[in-house]
Amino acid sequence: MFEDRPDRDAEVVLVGRSNVGKSTVMRELTGHDFSTGGKPGVTRQPNHYDWVSESFMFTDLPGFGFMSGVESDRREEIKTDVIRYVEDNADRILTGVVVLDGKSAVDIIDRHTERGNVPHDVEMFGFLEEVGVDPIVAVNKTDKIDDLDERLDDICDRLGLFPPWQQWSDTVAPICAKRGDIGALEDCLSERFHAHNRDDLLKFVS
Question: For 87-136, what is each residue's pLDDT tens digit?
Answer: 999 999 999 999 999 999 999 999 989 988 888 899 999 999 999 999 99
pLDDT of residue 1: 66
pLDDT of residue 42: 54
Whether 155 shows a pLDDT value over 60: the answer reads: yes
Mean pLDDT of 142-163: 96
Q: How many domains does the chain have?
A: 1
Q: Is residue 145 part of a domain?
A: yes
Q: Is residue 5 part of a domain?
A: no
How confident is the model over 162-182, as pLDDT tens digits? Answer: 999 999 999 999 999 999 999
80-104 b/e with 16+ CB inside 10 Å = b?
ebbbebbeebbebbbbbbbbbbbbe
Q: Is residue 205 part of a domain?
A: no
Q: How confident is the model at residue 34 (pLDDT cuts 50, 70, 90)?
A: low
183-195 b/e with 16+ CB inside 10 Å = b?
ebbbebbbbbbee
pLDDT of residue 4: 81
21-36 b/e with 16+ CB inside 10 Å = b?
bbbbbbbbbbeeeeeb
CA distance linking residue 22 with residue 9, whole number of Å: 22
Yes or no: say if 109 and 158 are a contact pair by the CB < 8 Å rule: yes
Whether 56 shows a pLDDT value over 90: the answer reads: yes
Give the closest residue to 106 by CA, choosing from 128, 139, 129, 135. Answer: 139
pLDDT of residue 71: 79
Q: Is residue 3 part of a domain?
A: no
Give the closest residue to 137 by CA, choosing from 179, 198, 95. Answer: 95
Q: How confident is the model at residue 200 (pLDDT cuts 50, 70, 90)?
A: very high
Q: In this structure, what are the phi and psi dihedrals at residue 105, rounded to the nearest 5 degrees?
A: -60, -45
- For 202: left if phi > 0, alpha if psi spans -120 to 50, otherwise beta; the answer is alpha
Q: In this structure, what are the phi and psi dihedrals at residue 100, rounded to the nearest 5 degrees?
A: -115, 150
Q: Is residue 166 part of a domain?
A: yes
CA distance linking residue 20 with residue 101, whole number of Å: 5
Whether 41 shows a pLDDT value over 60: the answer reads: no
Q: Is residue 4 part of a domain?
A: no
CATH of the domain at 19: 3.40.50.300
Q: Is residue 75 part of a domain?
A: yes
16 has which bridge partners?
99
Question: Would you mind telling me the total number of residues written for the chain in this entry?
Answer: 206
* Residue 24 lies in domain: 10-198
pLDDT of residue 35: 63
CA distance linking residue 10 with residue 142, whole number of Å: 29
Q: How confident is the model at residue 63 (pLDDT cuts 50, 70, 90)?
A: confident
Average pLDDT, the chain: 90
Whether 67 shows a pLDDT value over 70: the answer reads: no
Q: Is residue 35 part of a domain?
A: yes
Q: What is the dihedral of CA 40, 93, 171, 139, to 10 degrees?
A: -10
